[in-house]
Amino acid sequence: MKINRIQLNNFRNYKNSIIDFSDGINFIVGRNAQGKTNLLESIYLSSVGKSPKSCREKQIIMFNENQSKIELSFSTLAGNKNIKFFLDRTNKKSIKVNNINILKLTEFVGILSVVYFSPDELKLIKEVPEDRRNFLDISISQFDRTYLYNLLRYDKILKQRNSILKSTDSVESKIEQLDLFTPQLIECAQIIIEKRLNFIEKLKNIATNIHKFITIDENLDISYSYINTSGLSIKADLQKEFDKVKLKEIDLGYTCVGPHRDDLIFKINGMDCKYYSSQGQQRTVALVVKLSLMEVIKNEIGEYPILLLDDVLSELDQNRQDRLIELISKYQTLITCTKIPETKIKYNIIKVENGSII
Ligand SMILES: Nc1ncnc2c1ncn2[C@@H]1O[C@H](COP(=O)(O)OP(=O)(O)OP(=O)(O)O)[C@@H](O)[C@H]1O
Ligand SMILES: [Mg+2]
C-alpha cells in the first residue's frame, strides 16, 4: 500500500495542511513540539479508527475549533481509495471510505493497513500482559476478520459469564447458568488461541532473522503462554480447566481461564526480556516485532502495510540505526526525527514547523 496524500483540517496543531508522500523512506523532520507525532497519529487514526495515544477522542480537535477533518488518499493492489474522518465537539463522528459511510469498526479495520511504532510501544515488552494481548488482537484483526469476530463474541460472552459469577444467585443456580455459557466461551476461546498460536509461529520465524541482522549476536525467541496442560486438543484442555476451577471462579466472582488471561513471552539468549534485558535491547525487540509484523501482514494480504516510526532513531546506536534504515527502505515508511541521519539510501524529506509543512 502507499499513502499518496493527506489533508488535515483543525487536527491538533495543523490548521489546514496538505502533505504528499513518496515511496520508500519519508523523513518527517523538525524541532520538538512542531507536529511530527501528530502527523503520524492522524494516519494511524485513519487506519484503526482511534488514536494510538491513550487520550480522549476530542483532544485531537484543534484548540478553540469545533471540528476536525482528515482526508487521506492511498493506493492498494485493489486500486485507489480515500478515507475521510470527521469528529466534532458534540462527539459526532463519521468515517467514510470512498464516500461510503462506515457503520461498524469491524468493516473498517484493515482497509488501510499500518504498523506503528513509538517509544510507548516498549510497553509490549515491559508492561502488563494486557498490552501484549492488545498487540496480538490488533495485529491479527488487520488481516483476519474471523479472528476479530470471535474476539468480540468472546468479550460479550465473558462479560455475561462474569456477571453470573458476580451475582447473588445460589451456587446451584450459578453452576446451572455457567453450564450454558461455558461451552460457547470455549468455542470462541479455541479459535482465538489457535489463531494466536499460528500468528506467533509465523512472527517468530521472521523476527528471529531480523533480530539477528540488527544485533548480530543475539538470539530472540517468542512464545505464547496459555493453558496447555495435557497436550490434548485446546478445547479438551479448556474444558478440563474450567471444570477444575468452577468453584474457585464462583468464589472469586470472575472467569479465571481463557485467552483473556494469556501472555506473550520474549526471550533474548534464553532470558526473559521483561526482567533481564537492557532498555536498548527491549527497544530493539519491540521494533523487530513491528518490522516482522510488516512481513506477516504482507504474506497474508499480498502487499506491505505502511510503516509509521516515531522517535526511533535517536534511541539506537549507529550500527543498529544503519541496519534499520537499510531494512525499512523497502517499505513506504514515515519516520520522524529531529535530524536526518547520514545514509546512502534514497529518501524524501517532509519538514514540519509549527503545524505547517515547509
Ligand atoms: N488539540 C490540539 N490543538 C492544538 N495544538 C495541539 C493539540 N494537541 C496537541 N497540540 C500541540 O501539538 C504540538 C506538537 O505535538 P507533537 O507531539 O506532534 O510534536 P513533535 O513534533 O512530535 O515533537 P517531539 O519531537 O517533541 O516529539 C504540541 O506542542 C501540542 O501542544
Ligand atoms: Mg513526537
**Atom 31, ligand 1: which residue's CA is nearest?**
33
% residues pLDDT > 70 (the chain): 100
Site to substitute for ligand 1 among 8, 9, 10, 13, most atoms within 8 A of C-beta = 13
Site to substitute for ligand 1 among 34, 70, 88, 334, most atoms within 8 A of C-beta = 34
Give all strands of the β-sheet with 67-76 in edge-to-edge order.
14-20, 2-11, 67-76, 79-88, 93-97, 100-101
% residues pLDDT > 90 (the chain): 88
**Distance between alpha carbon 163 and the CA centroid of its chain, in Å?**
29
Lowest-pLDDT choice from 26-30, 51-55, 63-67 = 51-55
**Atom 19, ligand 1: which residue's CA is nearest?**
33
Model confidence pLDDT, tens digit, residues 75-108: 999 999 999 999 999 999 999 999 999 988 778 8
Average pLDDT estimate for 271-292: 94
CATH of 1-113+305-358, one of 3.40.1710.10, 3.40.50.300, 2.30.30.140, 1.25.40.10: 3.40.50.300
What's the CA-to-centroid distance between 327 and ligand 2, angstroms? 22
Write down the pLDDT at residue 289: 97
Write down the pLDDT at residue 69: 98
Site to substitute for ligand 1 among 14, 15, 37, most atoms within 8 A of C-beta = 37
pLDDT value at 228 more than 90? no
Mean pLDDT (the chain) is 95
Same fold, 1-113+305-358 and 120-303: no
**Atom 24, ligand 1: which residue's CA is nearest?**
32
Write down the pLDDT at residue 317: 85
Average pLDDT estimate for 278-302: 95
Average pLDDT estimate for 123-144: 94
**Atom 29, ligand 1: which residue's CA is nearest?**
33
Average pLDDT estimate for 292-320: 93
Lowest-pLDDT choice from 147-156, 193-202, 303-312, 314-323 = 314-323
Q: Which atom of ligand 1 is nearest to the CA of 35?
A: 18
- Nearest ligand atom owner, CA of 36: 1
Pairwise pLDDT comparison (144 vs 55), residue with the higher score: 144
List Cα–Cα distances, 231 to 204, 238, 340, in angstroms: 21, 11, 52
User: pTM for this one?
Assistant: 0.93
Model confidence pLDDT, tens digit, residues 25-51: 999 999 999 999 999 999 999 998 888
- Dihedral of CA atoms 250, 251, 255, 257 in degrees, nearest 10, equals -110
pLDDT value at 125 more than 90? yes
Average pLDDT estimate for 283-295: 96
Average pLDDT estimate for 349-358: 95
Cα separation, 9 vs 228, in Å, equals 51
Per residue, the 3-state secondary structure of the chain, as one string, reads CEEEEEEEEEECCEEEEEEECCCCEEEEECCCCCCHHHHHHHHHHHHHCCCCCCCCHHHHECCCCCEEEEEEEEEECCEEEEEEEEEECCCCEEEEECCEECCCHHHHCCCCCEEEECHHHHHHHHCCHHHHHHHHHHHHHCCCHHHHHHHHHHHHHHHHHHHHHHCCCCHHHHHHHHHHHHHHHHHHHHHHHHHHHHHHHHHHHHHHHHHHHHHCCCCEEEEEECCCCCCCCHHHHHHHHHHHHHHHHHHHCCCCCCHHHCEEEEEECCEEHHHHCCHHHHHHHHHHHHHHHHHHHHHHHCCCCEEEECCCHHHCCHHHHHHHHHHHCCCCEEEEECCCCCCCCCEEEEEEECCEEC
pLDDT value at 346 more than 90? yes
Domain ranges of the chain: 1-113+305-358, 120-303
Write down the pLDDT at residue 329: 96
Write down the pLDDT at residue 195: 98
- Residue 21: pLDDT band (50, 70, 90) is very high
What's the CA-to-centroid distance between 34 and ligand 2, angstroms? 8
What's the CA-to-centroid distance between 211 and ligand 1, angstroms? 32
CATH of domain 120-303: 1.20.1050.90
Cell numbers that stand for 93 in this block = 463522528
What's the CA-to-centroid distance between 187 and ligand 1, angstroms? 45
What's the CA-to-centroid distance between 129 and ligand 2, angstroms? 26
- Residue 163: pLDDT band (50, 70, 90) is very high
Average pLDDT estimate for 247-271: 97
pLDDT value at 229 more than 80? no
